[in-house]
Amino acid sequence: MRGHASKAGLNDAIIFNTCAVTKEAERQARQAIRRARRENPQAKIIVTGCSAQIDPQKYAQMDEVDQIIGNDLKLKEESWKPDAKEEKILVNDIMAVKETAGHLINGFEDQSRAFLQVQNGCDHRCTFCIIPFGRGNSRSVPIGVIADQVRMLVEQGYNEIVFTGVDVTSFGPDLPGKPTLGQMIRRVLALVPELPRLRLSSLDPVEIDDDMWLLIAQEPRFMPHLHLSVQAGDDMILKRMKRRHLRDDVIDVCKRARDLRPDMAFGADIIAGFPTETEEMYRNSLRLVKECDLTYLHVFPYSERHGTPAARIPDQVPVPERKERASRLRALGEAQVDKLLHSMVGQDVEVLVEKGGVGRSENFIPVMLCEEYEVGSLVMVKATDAKEGKLQGEGI
Ligand code: SF4
């Protein structure tokens, strides 16, 4: 977007890439737009992203906003050209979009790792989720294109690349030969042997294919940290969410992955206070975190999204209750992180150096570095202590 905007002479425009996952995300977007207008009365303000795609009128009604560009069109050069500038709303039907091309990047400024979107959209319809209406149906980037991008990023000096997607385990069926996610990753690692570290941003627990298990078992360049889209630990709630897994599936996946790779760490997305969730059902989420030894939790209090089936369930959990459950889950997550950190004290860990004297281990543990290193480099340190949510690492 930055590239297209600057080519079109919009260097001073302010672009808001909005999120629609929760009401709170949308509230913050509107607040940030108003603040930006107060501080930059002359700047052109353009709003894009999922919230703008799903409900462009919401932003068109704001005097502060000059233009709304949808999620597909934002990645097309012509949307940013001078003759496109006159239309206030430039949003097409995201459900009709078939291609993924156009959004791959050529590096990130000031970052130690690069993110590469290998898949977009989602064919599932979890009852709480608005994302498919912002991103459209699932579509995958061809393997050759991914490998070229990875090679280019490695040549630019990136030692770690994160593959991202909306529903990344749905990678492949729309491509010739229907490769699975695991097959794609193995192929890319074979085509770019000089890439030291590859991660996945998140994973659906029931859709780990055989090649992915081989990667976990055999490929040291595939990082031992899986962020699982768990959402709940109670089977009835999982069914009402229309997820495709049950709590035992999560337990089995974690056990199998740890048996293959004992240093594996797990993160998880969990929703607190989904409609009809009782205290006992909620406790099943708490128990699952402990049973699977999940660490980095992304916890959201349930947020009704207009037009989703869950928002129409009459038995909604009161908002203060959702927040309170979320905060208990977060506290448990922090305790879990603390436990993991302490278990790693004394170990030698390889760290990818980030800005600000910190870095991340292979299993995504934050490490405070005692010496200065070049951002983006890989260094070996000894974990000497664990405090304030980080390991202390001394050079060896
Ligand atoms: S799989 Fe993920 S993106 Fe797709 S509908 Fe479910 S929660 Fe939303």
Q: How wide is the angle at C-alpha 229 spanned by C-alphas 121 and 365, nearest 5°?
A: 115
Nearest to 132 by CA among 89, 91, 166: 166
What Cα–Cα distance (Å) separates residue 214 from each residue in 160, 173, 203, 208, 242? 20, 20, 16, 10, 29
Spatial distance between the Cα atoms of 366 and 352, rounded to a whole number of angstroms = 10
- Nearest-atom index, ligand 1, CA of 135: 3
- Nearest-atom index, ligand 1, CA of 125: 5
DSSP 7-41: HTT-TT-EEEEE--SSHHHHHHHHHHHHHHHHH-T
- Nearest-atom index, ligand 1, CA of 130: 8
Q: pLDDT digit of tens for each residue in the chain (396 aa)?
A: 888 888 888 888 999 999 999 999 999 999 999 999 999 999 999 999 999 999 999 999 999 999 999 998 898 888 887 665 578 888 888 878 877 655 556 556 567 899 999 999 999 999 999 999 999 999 999 999 999 999 999 999 999 999 999 999 999 999 999 999 999 999 999 999 999 999 999 999 888 999 999 999 999 999 999 999 999 999 999 999 999 999 999 999 999 999 999 999 999 999 999 999 999 999 999 999 999 999 999 999 999 999 999 999 999 999 999 999 999 999 999 999 999 999 999 999 999 999 999 999 999 999 999 999 999 999 999 999 999 899 999 988
Tokens of 216: 């976990």
Determine the distance separating the centroid of ligand 1 and the alpha carbon of 396, expressed in angstroms.
43
**Torsion of the alpha carbons at 206, 211, 213 and 218, rounded to the nearest 10:** -160
CB 329 within 8 A of CB 295: no
Name the amino acid, one letter, at 63.
D
Q: To test ligand 1's pocket by mutation, which of 71, 122, 206 has the most ligand atoms within 8 angstroms of CB?
A: 122
Residue 320: CB atoms within 10 A of its CB come to 10
Name the amino acid, one letter, at 212.
M
pLDDT of residue 104: 57
| Sequence-ordered list of residues with C-beta below 8 angstroms from that of 271, at least 6 positions apart, any chain | 128, 231, 232, 241, 299, 300, 301, 302
CB 65 within 8 A of CB 45: yes
Give residue ranges with CB within 6 A of ligand 1. Answer: 122, 124-126, 129, 131-132, 166-167
pLDDT of residue 367: 97
pLDDT of residue 105: 61
Q: To test ligand 1's pocket by mutation, which of 126, 135, 230, 270 has the most ligand atoms within 8 angstroms of CB?
A: 126
Spatial distance between the Cα atoms of 252 and 355, rounded to a whole number of angstroms = 37
